[in-house]
Structure 1
Amino acid sequence: MADRHNRDIERQQAPLPEPLPVPTVDAHAHLEIVTNDAADSAAVRTILDEAKSVNVDRVVQVGYSAEQSQWCVDLANLYPGRVLAAVALHPNEAPVVKDLERDWAIIEKLAQEPRVRAIGETGLDYFRTPPELQKRQQESFKWHIELAKKTKKALVIHDRDSHEDVLSVLLEVGAPEKTVFHCFSGDVAMAKICIERGYILSFAGTMTFKNAPELREAVKLVPHDQLLVETDSPFLAPTPHRGALNTPAQIANIVRAMAAERNDDVAELATALSVNAERIFGSFV
């Protein structure tokens, strides 16, 4: 993933938006890719401070590999009150790591850290994974589900081109009490299934893209208490900054877009999203 990281940090950062009227949370970010720097670097602090200046004052930093999950824990420990961590092997990592059980052991140990509040991002991704590796990916997904249940922490799901199998696996092994679909990419029918099962749907800048009318219809259906917002920084900057380097500050633009689609008051929606994040991931203090 290093080449992709380098490409991302070369992009121009999206400009800071108008501040939200009340504080809220970015439920999913990868700040190490935004900055390509150490957790205690000035660059990371700048990104967090810029987000706070527009009233995005808390961030969930999400893992995708054993090594990078340690980075997530380090960042959360450096910023009590502002950052929490999730740890996992990304579904694209699981089929290609040299020693899957070794990496699982690292993730399981990190999951015991007090500021780790979720197991993720795990799940299925058939976009890049050939059929012969999908079984290994499914095995890793199931392992992460069981870890989330054992640790009583939220499960954060990455789902790309694999909607049916993700839903089937969750039924087969039993979903954790708090199950989050990160960067929800399904249609209205899938949203209805997830809502009925009590899953949490997290929407990103993709909701603002011209080619995503299904996401705009789906976001209208989600009850306030099953809704989160995220940037997936540094990816998926919202319109009108699509293609720019995304940062947690862009939550302000995404929340306004969500409020417009749902006919919600911006302040009330931002407050609900904040309350949901604290209920799902716990206090940031």
Structure 2
Amino acid sequence: MALIRMLLIIFAVVLAGSVQGQAASELEKIPSISLDIVGHTRNLGDLVEVLSEQTGYRVRIPEEWGSLSVEGRYLNVPLDSFFRRVVRYESISITIDEINKDIFVQSYQHQARTGYASTDAENETNEREFFDPMTGIAKQDLKEMQAEQLDELERLREDPEEIDLETGVRQRELRLLQKSQLEAIAEAKYDPRAVDPATGVPNGELQVVISDQLSELEEQRNDPDAIDVQTGVRLEDLHRLQREQLADLARQRKDPDSIDPETGVRRGQLEALRQQQLAQMKL
């Protein structure tokens, strides 16, 4: 009896290893595709024929997916990764029928039960563990997609003939335009006839106004009868008040019975506490 139990355990282990190895090899059979859809979008349903030509299989998708928009560059991307990027917030099931050369792509939650002889390469995943909650894309695919996008952006920046996505202008022309604009701005700063964009006043007139204002402020500082614009008090009275406040603060710091405004404790008590702490630190 023990021998039979041992044989059954060995058979189960061998069978599990065989199934895992088969699943891994089946996942490797999923073909890759390349698409270049930049500056516009295409419906997923219109791309099925292109995907079929590239993979060598008839790609079949649910009818409701046909209107999904596709945009971006996909360079040698596995078919399951491509569909996970397009069909978000769903687990994707890829079923390969080697006999009829069909690939069935479905939502795993609503996977149809078919009776054909097939080789299944299903990507069963735990969404909370493997899917990004913001995009619905598998985390590994999202990381790869972001890396591809960064590489592509870097290449676009370095290629002078590439089109800038925001302006629709070639990088070379855009750089020339930016250079000429910076030069024009630099020249305008020193041109008295150029109009300041913030005020709408020519630079020459603006400099005169600023100079007059600075001179007026300097005169007010030296005039005891001038009114402080922030307080509405004569400068002489304001200066006297400030001197009195400073003198009062100096007296309070020396008065052990005055209240410290930050702690609400008498200054004499604070000083005694500070001396006590210093004595404890020396012990």
Q: Scaled by the length of structure 1, what TM-score is found?
A: 0.22
Higher relative contact order (CA 8 A, sep 6+): 1
Structure 2 length-normalised TM: 0.23
Greater fraction of residues in helix:
2
